[in-house]
Structure 1
């Protein structure tokens, strides 16, 4: 029961929540998180939860890391804010730009700072259009993304996103944004089709879309190395080599959305390294600062930037930017977060403990409610089914996922169901013992849900 004047009641009265059933929220209110330490958070009642989503795929160094707090405090005292408009700059922005360009897995020229993954992808789209005009190719503006991909929620980035809930009633996607098929082999493969054959088909579908639209009209292709919010979809054998060959054949820019995969999540510093990707642009956020402060970045190579630089001279300015882009405090925290990841070998820990996580999840494959387990490093998912043979959950999509998710919450684990897939993306500091805690809670939640299902 929500008490009058409680934080829960005040939240109901004053706060519209993202990704929430707004009407249902008026009835049930929020779960109030009060504190965090390591891989755990506590709610207002004092109950502790293992945060198996690292917040939103992002608190890589764990909650309450003193070094990040100290970095923010020191920078706040020195220079609490300055911008980077009109030839102005400051030390943390320069240091972070230099660090990101230097650590990129393929040659990149410069970093542009924004505040969220959505803004970074939105900025990438604007730069791609600006570049096309600079090159005298005003017809080359169409952009291809993928079904079930996730790239954000601004008007442009939500158009790239390939999930129905991000389009319905928003009048999206906008014109010029196209979608090709998801790389989910388990869900989308034809009967008897091998992974290589499936990948060949997906690449052929991409090429056919390009030909149908006109190659001279296609500017870029956006994709996550591993799909995150679309259900943690790991591309099958041969997928990325075949897709990249199509992009090279038609001279189409490749934008790698590293917002979730970047900074160690896959057991590599960047997801692009896990799959030998050669993007022209990379969008970064979330793990960049371990989400302690809002910051994101767009990296671009010379092929992208050289025409943009010339066009800005012709016009007189590159007329785009954000008040808080490259904020000195956020940049200082991001630099410290990267330092912690590097010094404590959290990328290596993600590879090692991630392998253990997938071993433990794979051992649940025979459970009546599990259709597939998948993932890489410290990002994984289990696909829930009520009918293994038909690969179907319950009649209402997402109902089974929500039921298991609720049972997990009762057992002290916070995760997220994307439809009927349960995702796991814990802080990179997690131990094998804490993974055991997570998987034991999952096993209990599965058993509880199975007992509750109609026979």
Structure 2
């Protein structure tokens, strides 16, 4: 649309890049595909933004929204409840691991992360440890864009314009085994080292100052870093030893993305808090949540106790109704089981790309994969900043889209292509993704 550049300020977008052309405008979706204003079809290889887990065009979710809006379009959760929030909180608590039974609704992921950090600080004040306020997170990890969440985020490039940030953010190594040659072919040793770096960071800062560790089950930024064997087991031990809360940031990794409702279940660890959003409604309405253990609620159950935090649209009745309908779709079609049954086929299809000289690593789990691009497969040499700019923004992003695949070409770490299709995808879509990537990556190599 010609007027998109005149009035619409798009997120994380170089607006000048559209000064000489039209903004791509998506007008319709069905299943694993979307269509633009010119009628061209694209495979949605990123589920919108790791969001549309149940797929596009689900009329029952739209109908659930309309029905709820006709009954009660809005009422706040500030000292009052409404039925859809109550029912959804109960439903979520039945799916979470352990005693994570307390659901605090937000409108998205950044807000959920903010709420989790605020809860960690407030909790420790109430149990007599008021100096515990800092947060440990990993290099290159993305945890959101609000000022607190941005302080937890480990991406310097998106933080500079907004500094100084909230103090107390501490960074430790991530779990990119491909870039850990000193550990050879021993992922267990690497995982132990990476986990122990969290303990060393807590010791350096002083255990009496650290409130929480924020980790994604599979780290998104950098290109889908799964945890090495034993990693989360060791992190849990460290958090327990220093009385630090373990926050599992599952804004992406929950709701079937990794073949379980929650990534913590996939990897067998017990967090104190889970943050979630995105796939909880499959994107049909905005909703997020911070899910806390019963013990974290206890200090706020005194006669005058209150967690002094809230957002106007957190737990919106329409969004909660959509989430409930979304979970009905998950249960009826066993979407989580579908991911478990097909993740091996997705992996093996993507691994065919290893024969291309530009493909260094294929990594991920479930329906969440990153393909790291390299200049030299033997040495694992990566691209410099100028080369990455030409490769990703100068060619790959546009070429993949023009070829009919919407995905993410990203260089917030080393250059990667990220894939996270709707959970309804199957072999037909896997093959389509592989064929488009093969064609476009082959051309990209020829241009280098």
* Map of 2:268 onto structure 1: 276
Deviation, structure 1 residue 258 = 1.0
Q: Please, which of 83, 87, 92 is the counterpart of residue 91 of structure 1? A: 83
Q: Please, which of 319, 330, 334 is the counterpart of residue 330 of structure 1? A: 319
Tell me the distance in 1 between the aligned counterparts of 2:379 and 2:309.
50
> Is residue 50–residue 414 contact of structure 1 (8 Å, CA) maintained in 2?
yes
In terms of mean alpha carbon deviation, does 188-197 or 230-239 score higher? Answer: 188-197
The 3-state SS of whatever aligns with 2:381 is coil
> Is residue 250–residue 275 contact of structure 2 (8 Å, CA) maintained in 1?
yes
> Is residue 403–residue 436 contact of structure 2 (8 Å, CA) maintained in 1?
yes
How has the CA–CA distance of structure 1 residues 287 and 23 changed in structure 2, closer, same or farther, with 3 Å as cutoff? same
Q: Please, which of 354, 363, 366 is the counterpart of residue 377 of structure 1? A: 366
Tell me the distance in 2 between the aligned counterparts of 1:285 and 1:191.
35
Tell me the distance in 2 between the aligned counterparts of 1:309 and 1:29.
55
How has the CA–CA distance of structure 1 residues 339 and 100 changed in structure 2, closer, same or farther, with 3 Å as cutoff? same
Deviation, structure 1 residue 188 = 3.2
In terms of mean alpha carbon deviation, does 418-427 or 240-249 score higher? Answer: 240-249
* Map of 1:309 onto structure 2: 301
> Is residue 42–residue 405 contact of structure 2 (8 Å, CA) maintained in 1?
yes
Tell me the distance in 1 between the aligned counterparts of 2:389 and 2:213.
29
2:430 is aligned with 1:443? no
The 3-state SS of whatever aligns with 1:190 is helix
Normalising by structure 2, we get a TM-score of 0.95
The 3-state SS of whatever aligns with 2:300 is helix
Deviation, structure 1 residue 172 = 4.9
Alignment of 1:149-160 (within 5 A): 149-160=141-152
2:347 is aligned with 1:355? no
Deviation, structure 1 residue 309 = 3.1
The 3-state SS of whatever aligns with 2:355 is coil
Tell me the distance in 2 between the aligned counterparts of 1:110 and 1:243.
23
The 3-state SS of whatever aligns with 2:160 is coil
For structure 2, list consecutive stretches of 5 or more residues without a partner in the other structure: none
Deviation, structure 1 residue 163 = 1.2
2:57 is aligned with 1:67? no
2:391 is aligned with 1:400? yes
TM-align CA RMSD: 1.5
Deviation, structure 1 residue 22 = 3.1
Deviation string 1:388-436 (CA, Å, 9 cap, x unpaired) is 1232333324543443333211210000022111111000011211211
* Map of 1:4 onto structure 2: none
Deviation string 1:140-186 (CA, Å, 9 cap, x unpaired) is 11111111211111000011111122212210542111111111111
In terms of mean alpha carbon deviation, does 406-415 or 192-201 score higher? Answer: 192-201
2:11 is aligned with 1:18? yes
* Map of 1:425 onto structure 2: 420
Deviation string 1:29-87 (CA, Å, 9 cap, x unpaired) is 4211111111100111110000000000010111110110111111111111111112x
> Is residue 353–residue 434 contact of structure 2 (8 Å, CA) maintained in 1?
no
> Is residue 384–residue 400 contact of structure 1 (8 Å, CA) maintained in 2?
no
For structure 1, list consecutive stretches of 5 or more residues without a partner in the other structure: 1-6
Deviation, structure 1 residue 191 = 5.6
Tell me the distance in 1 between the aligned counterparts of 2:21 and 2:179.
34
